[in-house]
Structure 1
Amino acid sequence: MQIIGIILLVAYGVGVWKFWQGYKRTNFQPGLVNRLGLSLLWPVLLPVNRSYRQNFQKALKGR
């Protein structure tokens, strides 16, 4: 069970890092608070918010 936790933690960290790096490609307001909050909350916002999902894809893929 510990390996699953480690894998989930790594996946979370990769998601935060990639979104943080591609944030400038999104339609979100610039600013440290917005960037930090949206980066850390990606697992919650991704499945429930269509606009966030589209911007997340822009940040990751550069579309």
Structure 2
Amino acid sequence: MGSLITIALLALYAGGVWKFWNGFEQTNFVKSFENRVYLSLLWPVLFTANRSYRKNFTKALKGSKR
């Protein structure tokens, strides 16, 4: 049961990284590769802690057509 939860959480994390990475151009963040990597990999922490990031994350999810 624990491994199933772990796999589900990893899939959720990877899905968030993928969606944010593909929709990054729709955000207000500075368009640099370093920013894209940093903000994509830290999305769970930033999403819970930062209101501005949440708004931009939502823009990225809506903007990504893949």
Structure 1 residue 61 and structure 2 residue 62: aligned? yes
Percent identity, please: 60
Distance in 2, matches of 1:47 and 1:3, equals 24
SS in structure 2 at match of 1:29 = coil
TM-score, reference length from structure 1:
0.96
**Displacement of 1:36 after TM fit?**
0.2
C-alpha RMSD of the superposition: 0.5
Q: TM-score, normalised by structure 2?
A: 0.92
For structure 2, list consecutive stretches of 5 or more residues without a partner in the other structure: none
Q: Shift of residue 61 of structure 1? A: 1.1
Aligned to 1:30: 31
> Which residue number corresponds to residue 11 of structure 1?
12
Q: Which runs of 5+ in 1 are unaligned?
A: none
Task: State the alpha-carbon separation in 1 of the partners of residues 51 and 4 from structure 2.
Answer: 31
For 1:30 and 1:14, locate their aligned partners in 2 and report how far apart those are by CA, in whole Å: 21
User: Which amino acid is the alignment partner of residue 17 of structure 1?
Assistant: W
Moved over 2 A (4+): none
Q: How many residues align?
A: 62
- Superposed CA offset, 1:31-62 (max 9, x none): 11000000000000001101000000000013
